[in-house]
Amino acid sequence: MTPEHDYAGWTKYIWLIYIIPFAGYPVLEKASAGRIALTWFATAVFTVIYLAGYRVSRNRVLLVIGAITLLGVAFMPSNLGAGAFFIFAASFAGSAGGVRRASTIIGIILLVLLIDVLIIGLSPMYWWWAAFFTVVIGAVNAHFAQVGRANKRLQMAQDEIEHLAKVAERERIARDLHDVLGHTLSLIILKSELASKLADRDPQRAREEIRDVERISREALSEVRQAVRGYRAGLQHELDGATEMLRTASIVLTTQLEPVPLAPAQEAILALALREAVTNVVRHAEAERCTIALGRSGDEIRLVVSDDGRGGTREDGAGISGMRERIAALGGRVTLDGSRGTTLTVALPLASGPQSVSAIERSA
């Protein structure tokens, strides 16, 4: 069995020392062998019940408390050491529930003890210690049981936070790898197709394209490593990549770029959004022209990527969905218009923290 509330650990065996006076009382009193045997049998029964009390569920611990209390009631008239049973019973009160429930249980145990000693007419000098320690030990153990439950909840919360952090990191890596490899592999495919077409009529140009494929593949490997480590390429780097990709696909690029104030997180998000948008233009748009615009509009920073392709409406893919989540996390929004070609607009609020001016210097 697995302990459900065993906050005592190995110390629960140490506390059994307090049952020795009960077990030794008939021997010191030179009682009959039958009475000694009955007392030792009761001690063995108590030990089993006591140790089980650390392994049963919260509801069943009430049975443990009741059984130990009954042993105290049964032996109190003939054995002054039986007062320890009430103390042991009270020590489990904290395992039965919260502070209010534990206080109620301790009160009931104390009331049973008082009724018992009143019925048998036992002098207070023989039982006061049992009443005193029933309250003290019961209250102390209830406190530590409450602390143990709070620590368990805290540990569960920490475990959940660690789990969520791992899930978030896996999702981040998956999104970054999609962004990195989706763009780069599309460019590699384009250049490989172009090299294949040029192999017969322009071998020199074909070799150049193959060398570009090799270079881009090496860069992709480096970008994958950076994505795993959590680094982000700058906006200028992504614009250079977009220019090369569109040129390879024979799509005419027009840029309308203004220096804008960007926080590091905003620049990283816009760089990834630009990469995803241009990749989609090359893959799906069947466009001849593409326009990339970056500027400030009121209290927003806007990145607009539009093309003159086939447009239309379609469900968001993994790249667009991931982009929406990232932009929304920074308080921005993503809109997609497919009525005339495709226009993707990313809007972010002006950065309120540390800012840097966008390093984009390329102009149309």
Q: Which position has the token pair 């791992």?
A: 166
Please choose, from the candidates 260, 334, 352, the residue with its C-alpha nearest in 3D space to the C-alpha of residue 297.
260
User: Highest mean pLDDT range out of 131-140, 194-203, 259-268?
Assistant: 131-140
Q: Between 251 and 237, where is the model more confident? A: 251
The amino acid sitting at 86 is F
DSSP class of 302? E
Q: What is the pLDDT of residue 31?
A: 83
First-to-last C-alpha distance (Å) of the chain: 74
Q: What percent of the chain has pLDDT over 90?
A: 23
Band of residue 228 on the pLDDT scale cut at 50, 70, 90: low
Whether pLDDT at 230 is above 70: no
DSSP 229-297: HT----HHHHHHHHHHHHHHTT-EEEEEE---EE-HHHHHHHHHHHHHHHHHIIIII--SEEEEEEEEE
Q: What is the pLDDT of residue 3?
A: 41
Whether pLDDT at 125 is above 80: no
User: Highest mean pLDDT range out of 63-72, 217-226, 277-286, 347-356?
Assistant: 63-72
Q: Between 284 and 164, where is the model more confident? A: 284
Whether pLDDT at 304 is above 90: yes
| Mean pLDDT in residue range 141-158 | 81
Of 11-15, 225-229, 274-278, which range is least confident? Answer: 225-229
Q: What percent of the chain has pLDDT over 70?
A: 85
Whether pLDDT at 294 is above 90: yes
What is the per-residue pLDDT across 152-176, written as a single tens digit (0 to 9) for each?
888 888 778 777 776 766 776 676 6
Residue 81 half-sphere exposure toward CB, CA atoms < 13 A:
17
Q: What is the pLDDT of residue 1?
A: 32
Is there a contact between 293 and 260 (Cβ–Cβ < 8 Å)? Answer: no
Q: What is the pLDDT of residue 358?
A: 56
DSSP class of 336? E
Q: What is the pLDDT of residue 355?
A: 54
